[in-house]
Amino acid sequence: MEKNGFSIEEIERLADKVAQAQLGSIEVQLGDFHLKIEGKRIKQVAAAPAVQAAPAAPAAVQAEPVPAAQPQAECGTPVKSPIVGTFYSSPAPDKAPFVTPGKAVKKGDVLFIIESMKLMNEVLSEQDGVVKEILAKDGQAVEYGEPVMVME
């Protein structure tokens, strides 16, 4: 049986080599196929059905659920992080936050800062509205496209 070009035997050989080399783990990702080998333990995370090893195989293959997307508010427009970095709600630790839930904002108002590579990037509102919810916490690392705030 093959999965994305890998046979069970090839995966088992790779698991043996990882164990022999005393590597902590190794991960391989090809499209929606994700394989993680920890010593002789193998996890597969994929949208496709799990690959099952033969009963006599030394390594076990098990499916693991794909992590769910960030929780979003039920209604409203999410404001997403435009870059990877650190979220800050205010211009300085001793200053008031740019916005708080319930505050009305106009297009062009500063909503928050994302620090990336020691640069402070102000994120501006793209619309008039009211801040419904702030999803990120001060100092939290955020990913590109991650919802940080919800506006109405």
Distance CA 51, CA 62 (A): 7
pLDDT grade for 30, boundaries at 50, 70 and 90: low
Interatomic CA distance for residues 52 and 63, integer angstroms: 9
pLDDT of 57: 45
Per the model's pLDDT, the better-predicted residue between 32 and 102 turns out to be 102
Domains and CATH numbers, the chain: 2-63 (no CATH), 77-151 (2.40.50.100)
pTM of the model: 0.52
List CB contacts of 39: < 8 A, sequence separation 6 or more: 15, 18, 19, 24, 25
pLDDT tens string 40-75: 554 444 444 444 444 444 444 444 554 554 444 458
**Residue 10: per-residue pLDDT:** 74
The amino acid at 12? E
Read off the pLDDT of residues 88-129 as tens digits, 9 standing for 90 and up.
999 999 999 999 999 999 999 999 999 998 889 999 999 999
Contacts for 33 with CB less than 8 Å, ≥ 6 apart: 3, 4, 44, 46, 48
Q: Between residues 144 and 47, which one has the greater pLDDT?
A: 144
pLDDT band at 23 (very low <50, low <70, confident <90, very high): low
> Comparing C-alpha atoms, which of 15, 9, 64, 22 is closest to residue 41?
15
Neighbours of 74 (CB within 10 A): 8
pLDDT for 12: 73
Rg (CA), the chain: 22
